[in-house]
């Protein structure tokens, strides 16, 4: 979402780094480019004005003029102010001390509240909580049915005593229902069933209206929630500010959740809502899957915008996706000197895919903004093709790829729906990975080439012998005979250093009794 803004800011700082000293004109030009980039990203004008003013004031201060690298200091200032705009430090959810924690969702229709309810429930379930969803959106057609489906996918129970609005297929004799009574009944049910968290999904509208606010306020007053989360579509641009202010005045929400953060919009909502409302952004929805949900960290998001990467989030996702026992088994296998097989490669690829989109993971690495075109052209289906190829092999072929001849490659290609060329490319990449794993296994022994104290160094081992043999072949018979005679003479003539570290060699032995030695030293001479 922040690709355009990130590219603009990165380009601005790249021009700034080429200058050894920064004048006031340089700083003004940089602030001007930053202001344009933020406005193009649909950030609210008051937020842009405040941000540019603070950055300019700090950039002209002593902290930049006295710095060893003024350009880096300006980047540091922009990063810190971006963190402040996004809310400063991350704030976790407020949980109730006794009884179930009540979380109420509010927002416009289409913002993604119902799906986000399932994502939040799954996230809390993974943390050890026992959440329950309450279907209090009785106006949007099939909203209750959708919440039931989402709850089933997340493995979380859904309290839905009323079917809600079924559209043209509305149940005969069923009234529109009272969402306030449904929310109250859901709270009592959660207490009875001893659920630790309940998430109340409320109705939305296509625009801010008084009826929506009154209904949301009535539900809030009835259930007294610990958290009121305002779900906002990160793609709506400048309208985000007016919508957020209206909901803040109507229901006084306690936190913000950004949905559709994986879209291709310019992302101004994320940079505006926290500063305008003064309420922190707690979570972000980054995709359609229930697992595409992450805790919002302002400092990490600022690093992503400035193309500095987000390694901490990448590590956290890896810890969730990778099997600890499998990692220990793989480490022990390498330590024991066993070969890395295609079966192991398949397991690693599957665990890597469990982390989510490869594009998202690669995008969290520092400097990937410079490779955005290649990243956009990355084919996510490549992992599926690799998995199909390996699964089309026999166990023997996975353990020993060298037995895969031409006929076997043709069979594997037909079984996986690929071509022989793709099979060859995979085997070549795997061979390179296997060699790397072998070198890692050798470690401090005869492993890495060109390293001191390790094998396969230039002029050592078989290669050195091969070079000497090649040199001998180039010699004439007379030259080889002369070299042999010289080697014989060298063997017969003792060198000064032979037999002694001090160069005494075959010289006449010295009688220790003739030496004037200090008293008591003769016992060390073996006498």
pLDDT tens digits, residue range 309-333?
Answer: 656 666 666 666 666 676 677 667 6
What SS3 class is residue 140? coil
Q: Are residues 38 and 123 in the same domain?
A: no
- Domain final residue pick, 306, 325, 347: 306
User: Shortest CA distance to 256 belongs to which of 273, 243, 241, 272?
Assistant: 273
- What is the C-alpha to C-alpha distance for residues 204 and 430, in angstroms, rounded to an integer? 52
> pTM for the complete prediction?
0.63
Assess if residue 511 is contained within a domain: no
CA neighbor of 356 nearest in space, from 307, 316, 411: 316
Which positions make up the binding site for GTP?
A: 107-114, 201-205, 259-262
CATH number at residue 65: 1.20.120.140
Residue-wise pLDDT tens digits, 55-106 = 888 888 766 666 667 777 888 888 888 888 888 888 889 898 888 999 999 8
For residue 64, count other CB atoms closer than 10 A to its CB: 19
Greater confidence, 448 or 481?
481
H or E segment and range at residue 130: none
Residue 150 has pLDDT above 90, yes or no: yes
**Taking every pair of C-alpha atoms in the chain, what is the biggest distance, in angstroms?**
128
Looking at 22, 51, 85, the residue that finishes a domain is 85
pLDDT over 60 (residue 410): yes
Indicate whether 463 belongs to any domain. no
| CA–CA separation, 228 and 225 (whole Å) | 7
Find the domain containing 36 and state its range: 3-85
User: 343 is written with which tokens?
Assistant: 């079966």
Residue 95 domain-assigned (yes or no)? no
Interval 480-503 mean pLDDT? 53
What percent of the chain stands above pLDDT 90? 14
Number of structural domains found in the chain: 3
The more confident residue out of 44 and 357 is 44
- Known binding positions: 107-114, 201-205, 259-262
DSSP-derived 3-state class of residue 499: coil
Same domain, residue pair 151 and 227: yes
Residue 7 and residue 55 share a domain:
yes
Given a cut of 50, whether residue 453 has pLDDT beyond it is: no
Q: Specify whether the CB–CB gap between 348 and 323 falls below 8 A.
A: no
Are 104 and 225 in contact by the 8 Å Cβ rule? The answer is yes
Q: Are residues 155 and 298 in the same domain?
A: yes
CA distance 450 to 453: 9
CA distance 84 to 95: 25
Structure tokens at 423: 């099979």
For residues 152 and 19, which has the higher predicted lDDT (pLDDT)? 152
pLDDT at 172: 44
- For tokens 């996004």, the residue is 86
Task: Over range 484-499, report the average pLDDT.
Answer: 53
Distance separating alpha carbons of residues 497 and 402, to the nearest angstrom: 51
Residue 512 lies in a domain: no
Residue 428, classified by CB atoms within 10 Å of its CB into exposed (0-12), middle (13-18) or buried (19+), is exposed
Q: How far apart are CA 243 and CA 249, in angstroms?
A: 10
Instruction: Say how far apart CA 110 and CA 261 lie, in whole Å.
Output: 14
Please give the residue that has the higher pLDDT: either 488 or 178.
178
Query: Are residues 278 and 129 both part of a single domain?
Result: yes
Specify whether 299 is located in the same domain as 321.
no
CA distance 9 to 18: 15
Same domain, 61 and 105: no
Same domain (yes/no): 68, 36: yes
pLDDT band at 440 (very low <50, low <70, confident <90, very high): low
pLDDT class of 295 with cuts at 50, 70, 90: confident
Question: CB neighbours of 309 closer than 8 A, spacing ≥ 6?
Answer: 303, 364, 365, 366, 367, 368
**Domain-terminating residue out of 252, 272, 306:** 306
Nearest Cα neighbor of 305 from 241, 376, 232, 368 is 368
> φ, ψ for residue 73 (rounded to 5)?
-65, -35
Q: Is residue 483 part of a domain?
A: no
Size (the chain), residues: 527
Contacts of 418 (CB under 8 A, 6+ apart): 385, 388, 389, 412
Domain harbouring 428, CATH code:
1.10.260.30
Residue 457 is predicted with a pLDDT of: 35
């Amino acid at each position: 979402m922040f690709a355009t803004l990130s590219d603009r800011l990165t380009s601005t700082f790249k021009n700034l780094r080429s200058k050894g000293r920064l004048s006031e004109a340089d700083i003004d030009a940089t602030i001007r480019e930053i202001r344009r980039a933020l406005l193009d990203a649909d950030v609210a004008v008051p937020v842009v004005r405040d941000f540019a003013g603070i950055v300019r004031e700090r950039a002209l201060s002593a902290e930049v003029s006295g710095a060893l690298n003024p350009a880096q200091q300006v980047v540091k200032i922009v990063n810190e102010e971006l963190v402040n705009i996004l809310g400063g430090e991350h704030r976790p959810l407020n949980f109730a001390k006794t009884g179930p924690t009540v979380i109420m969702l509010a927002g416009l229709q289409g913002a993604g509240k119902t799906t986000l309810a399932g994502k939040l429930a799954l996230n809390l379930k993974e943390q050890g909580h026992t959440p329950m969803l309450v279907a209090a959106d009785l106006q949007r057609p099939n909203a209750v049915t959708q919440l039931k489906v989402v709850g089933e996918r997340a493995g979380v129970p859904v309290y839905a005593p009323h079917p809600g609005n079924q559209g043209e297929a509305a149940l005969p004799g069923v009234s529109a229902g009272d969402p306030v009574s449904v929310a109250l009944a859901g709270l009592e049910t959660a207490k009875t069933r001893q659920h630790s968290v309940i998430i109340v999904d409320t109705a939305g509208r296509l625009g801010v209206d008084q009826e929506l606010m009154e209904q949301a306020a009535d539900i809030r007053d009835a259930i007294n929630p610990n958290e009121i989360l305002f779900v906002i579509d990160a793609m709506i641009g400048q309208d985000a500010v007016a919508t957020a202010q209206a909901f803040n005045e109507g229901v006084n929400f306690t936190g913000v959740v950004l949905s559709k953060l994986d879209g291709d919009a310019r992302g101004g909502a994320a940079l505006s809502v926290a500063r305008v409302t003064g309420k922190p952004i707690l979570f972000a929805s980054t995709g359609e899957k229930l697992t595409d949900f992450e805790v919002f960290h302002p400092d990490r998001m600022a690093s992503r915008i400035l193309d500095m990467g987000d390694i901490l989030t990448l590590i956290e996702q890896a810890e969730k996706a990778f099997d600890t026992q499998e990692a220990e088994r793989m480490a022990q296998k390498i330590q024991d000197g066993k070969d890395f097989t295609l079966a192991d490669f398949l397991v690693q690829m599957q665990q890597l895919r469990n982390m989510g989109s490869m594009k998202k993971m690669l995008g969290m690495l520092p400097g990937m903004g410079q490779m955005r075109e290649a990243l956009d052209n990355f084919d996510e289906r490549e992992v599926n093709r690799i998995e199909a190829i390996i699964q089309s092999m026999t166990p023997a072929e996975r353990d020993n790829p060298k037995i895969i001849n031409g006929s076997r490659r043709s069979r594997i290609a037909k079984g996986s729906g690929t071509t022989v060329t793709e099979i060859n490319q995979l085997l070549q990449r795997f061979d390179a990975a296997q060699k790397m794993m072998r070198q890692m296994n050798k470690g401090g022994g005869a492993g890495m080439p060109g390293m001191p104290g390790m094998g396969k160094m230039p002029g050592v081992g078989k290669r050195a012998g091969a070079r000497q043999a090649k040199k001998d072949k180039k010699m004439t018979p007379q030259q080889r005979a002369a070299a042999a005679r010289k080697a014989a003479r060298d063997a017969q003539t003792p060198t000064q250093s032979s037999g002694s570290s001090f160069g005494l060699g075959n010289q006449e032995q010295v009688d220790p009794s003739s030496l004037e030695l200090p008293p008591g030293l003769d016992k060390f001479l073996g006498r």
